[in-house]
Structure 1
């Protein structure tokens, strides 16, 4: 079973389940999960091969959707499901395969398509980080800067570095994530349709949801609303948290 972080709320409302993206964890969603809780219980998971969740040899979207289904069945279906990037694809695959588990679906900055980019260079940078004698995040950041220029990307990745372990270690199954990268950036093209309410939120500065993806979204998620958050890129929940949270709250409570 996936590792779960819980936030209390009104149990007469459906639980909101949050699934993070590649290299993320439930911790990345802590502030938003807390703020969305209250009117409803919220649970945030570490996806397989991430955070405190178990490591496996495979990382397909069928696997990821199956993990989420196991959590939902244990919690009591249906839930509202919010997924970002890799978590968004996992959420879509589950919604198409097991629509009865989901009341409302929120997909953040990802489309039901295969992408040509890879995040393999980030895996290499993390693998290449010299962990010898590391005791501070600032020192880790300094070392990681040799291979990753962008400070915000380094800060995001370093949230998954466990400095309390001896020796320090990544809370990411880097070998499997690297080997399965084609599946992660790809799309298994599942059949089916989710006819419940759905909202696809894009960052206006992100290029992850292209115009040609919109008819594909509508074909399998016929009730999907599609909105953009101005000034936000791919990590829209981190870059424009209040706007993101307001859009999700309005949709869930509609």
Structure 2
């Protein structure tokens, strides 16, 4: 695997980093005994494995399409100009000519979240797989703007730079919303869409990210202390506000050493300023008519029956599935079931 990083060298305020994943939601959707597909009425949800539309390959040049996409103003998106940033990414090559899989991580995450899964997906599908750092995360540049319009423009720029005319977008949580926005803007660019435990709806009720941000900002690590004690000291400072050990460990993956001190690699200020927007979803009057899979965790509350009508309106060809015994971190809780669902969804239809 060769990692191609196109972001500038980090400044004293921009640390490099390691991997992370988004924490569990605060409410449960209920147990499911097997991997099932839920019908949401009006024929919108088809069982996995039913015939799907074949890929569409006759596409305009990617640079022209990218420029056209930036020029189009969509209802509900910010009217001011968005300047894309060059994203850090990693590539695993595969021999298949089919559209590559592009993984977009969740809030506080990074491209390293999907590295082990990417290797297995390359082996099982033969497709090229890209894992991408969102702006203000991982090794991608910092930016004061943190909206879905901006993040989808970043991904569009990256795909243009790599001359990818079609791709399968796989987004977890925040990355899922970014993938949805890009699919709704650029139907011809997205061959298939996989949204991992996320729907096009308001998610404030099932998150505690404001408390996470407050606790992370309050962490004070003195200069000069040994690395062996830094993580323990940071965890002790997080413990009063964040009770669950798994969430503390997840947040601590963002603690990195740079410029002779320990810092958070995620841009906490930008996330704080745009948290309300990140918990919401833009108002689209268009729809993505390609194949889409909404893959939730049976113990998660991010995709509920209340979300089905909006999923049907925006993604009329959508399938909704729940992975048993998985929370919000579907790919981490049940990696084999996650890989199986993705492989089946992207498999070419029978001849």
**TM-score of the two chains, using structure 2 as the length reference:** 0.70
Structure 1 residue ranges (4+ consecutive) displaced by more than 4 angstroms after TM superposition: none
Unaligned 5+ segments in structure 2 are: 1-85
Aligned-partner SS, 2:241: coil
Matched, 1:194 2:288: yes
Q: In angstroms, what is the RMSD of aligned CA positions?
A: 1.5
How far has the Cα of 1:5 moved from its partner?
Answer: 1.3
In the alignment, what sits opposite 1:158?
A: 252
User: Partners of 2:259 and 2:96 in 1: how far apart?
Assistant: 37
In structure 1, what is the equivalent of residue 181 of structure 2? 93
Q: CA deviation at 1:48?
A: 0.6
Please state which structure has a larger fraction of its residues in helix: 1
Residue 7, structure 1, aligned to residue 92, structure 2: yes
Cα distance in structure 1, aligned partners of 2:237 and 2:176: 31
Q: Highest Rg: 1 or 2? A: 2
Q: How big is the shift at 1:171?
A: 0.9
1:169 CA displacement: 1.1
**Contact 1:96-1:191 within 8 A present in 2 as well:** no
- Structure 2 partner of 1:46: 133
1:23-45 deviations in Å (ceiling 9; x for gaps) = 11111112112211231111111
Tell me the SS of whatever aligns to 2:312: helix
Q: 2:114 aligns with which of 29, 33, 41?
A: 29
Distance in 1 (alpha carbons) for counterparts of 2:114 and 2:260: 26
Partner of 1:218: 312
- In the alignment of these two chains, the number of paired residues is 254
- After TM superposition, the score normalised by the length of structure 1 is 0.95
Give the drift of 1:165. 4.8
2:221 and 2:233 in contact (8 A); partners too? no
Which of the residues 205, 217, 227 maps onto 1:135?
Answer: 227
Question: Residues 187 and 166 of structure 1: is their aligned pair in 2 closer, same or farther, counting only changes over 3 Å?
Answer: same
Matched residue, 1:241: 335
More contact order relative to length (CA 8 Å, sep ≥ 6): 2
Please give the alpha-carbon distance, in whole angstroms, between the structure 2 residues aligned to 1:166 and 1:241. 37
Equivalence for 2:169: 81
